[in-house]
Chain A
């Protein structure tokens, strides 16, 4: 479509309000956005291709480094995929421990998101406070797993370490603190006038749009469609510790904040439940060395939505193919739809509303060339292709 260059505002790839680079071409019409053309692929690192070169165990460390915020969900998804292929049953205690760390990660991710919404709405005070409280969660994760972000906690066959002694009391105390803070922030974001006029009514998502564009995660739950992988297709210990699915019907950013804070409160309840009911037993069972041939598909509820993993094995020392579909990829078209007709000032807030994690998102690994039917390109070929492409366009 034709548009004049004066009406185009480039948002990104490097922009103060994007955590990771993505390019959105905003086509403006007197201060309001008429259309958004995204261009993804700036953080494509070839992780799926790198996974084919590595052994089954080495890949855990590769996949958890796809994203810093949902790192545990990635390693959990991959490991569960391998465990399905080996027809292996993880000990119950390990399942509970995996649930505890996964829920801790959900809390930390939602707090991170809340801080970022505050920051991008100009409310730096909320940003600093929420991240100050998030440190309590990260310290807990460090005490359990050994690291704050890339936890390296899950292993094929269970988890690597048991809970340290004396952690139970600390964990319960911190949970009380987190619940108190989450309740305070719920109240604050609803009643602070300058924040609510930025977030109420902004980015309204309706059920029809949601059914058409298929978003996942809290974005979907904000339209009233209450779907959560942990409840519908339980993995780890979720069949025994059932979380409550939080949903709402407003579809705007203010309601997304409420949903995520309610999810934090619910996660605290699930963790407390898990700690109470923690079964005894081993935390890790030895897995057979050879992974038999086969394919496995399963999904995990990452903090951002449904994370889908496909693992194929051909009986070798490493996977033959791993394909993952991250929640941000499913949400990005919805976010773009939410942006139409809004002024520029709402762009960072709406984009944050879907909790973007572009580092997770760029998983393009099939390149369709018109002339040759290659299915993967070497680094040099990709570079050459990019040079010629940009010489032809723009």
Chain B
């Protein structure tokens, strides 16, 4: 049993003092995140077909499908829908990205999502536009 001494941490303290501090320079410098980091949701509108799967699987209820037109399928008129996202509620889980068969959704590396007005974080079509 080693004898106790006071100030055991002193050696490590002086060694740490001479090293570079580990604090990152953010926000005065850029923060580098990992390759797989799940940040802000993004959509490639050309690939979206309006199948509504993302709306069904989203755990946070972020996605709402809005009818933007209609098309004829066989003998019926069907609504064509496009998603609209309320990104302030998004938890970036990636479930919609995984389940979209057309690869229209992706998660970027953007994490600075604080805004002054909530409306800035709405993405996609909105009613009436």
* A124-145 interface with B by 8 A CB criterion: 125-126, 129, 132, 135, 139, 142-145
Contact of A194 among B3, B6, B16, B33 (CB under 8 A): B6
Contact A191:B8 (CB < 8 A) given known A146-B94, A152-B94: yes
- How far does the Cβ of B59 sit from chain A's closest Cβ, in whole Å? 4
- How far does the Cβ of B66 sit from chain A's closest Cβ, in whole Å? 22
Contact A132:B22 (CB < 8 A) given known A152-B93, A193-B5: yes
- How many residues on the B side are at the interface (Cβ–Cβ under 8 A)? 28
> A293 at the A/B interface (Cβ < 8 Å)?
no
> B18 at the A/B interface (Cβ < 8 Å)?
no
> Which residues of A are found within 8 Å of B16, using beta-carbon distances?
129
- Residues 9-46 of chain B, each 1 if its beta carbon lies under 8 Å from chain A, else 0: 10011001000001000000000011111100000000
Task: Report yes or no: B59 in contact with A62, Cβ–Cβ below 8 A.
Answer: yes
Task: Report yes or no: A125 in contact with B8, Cβ–Cβ below 8 A.
Answer: no
Q: Which of A29-37, A53-61, A81-89, A362-370 contacts B (4 or more CB under 8 A)?
A: A53-61
Q: In the complex, A150→B37 CA distance in Å? A: 12
Q: In the complex, A192→B5 CA distance in Å? A: 6
- How far does the Cβ of A51 sit from chain B's closest Cβ, in whole Å? 11
Task: Report yes or no: A142 in contact with B34, Cβ–Cβ below 8 A.
Answer: yes
- Residues 59-87 of chain A, each 1 if its beta carbon lies under 8 Å from chain B, else 0: 00110000000000000000000000000
> B98 at the A/B interface (Cβ < 8 Å)?
yes
- How far does the Cβ of B107 sit from chain A's closest Cβ, in whole Å? 8
Majority-rule SS of B interface residues: loop
> Which residues of B are found within 8 Å of A192, using beta-carbon distances?
4-9
Contact of B38 among A54, A139, A146 (CB under 8 A): A146
Q: Return the chain A residue nearest B107 by Cβ.
A: A146
Task: Report yes or no: A164 in contact with B4, Cβ–Cβ below 8 A.
Answer: no
Q: In the complex, A58→B55 CA distance in Å? A: 12
> B2 at the A/B interface (Cβ < 8 Å)?
yes
* A166-202 interface with B by 8 A CB criterion: 184, 187-188, 190-194, 196
Q: In the complex, A196→B5 CA distance in Å? A: 10
Task: Report yes or no: A61 in contact with B22, Cβ–Cβ below 8 A.
Answer: no
> Which residues of A are found within 8 Å of B36, using beta-carbon distances?
142-146, 161, 164
Residues of chain A touching chain B, judged by Cβ–Cβ distance below 8 Å, are 54-55, 57-58, 61-62, 125-126, 129, 132, 135, 139, 142-147, 150, 152, 160-161, 164, 184, 187-188, 190-194, 196
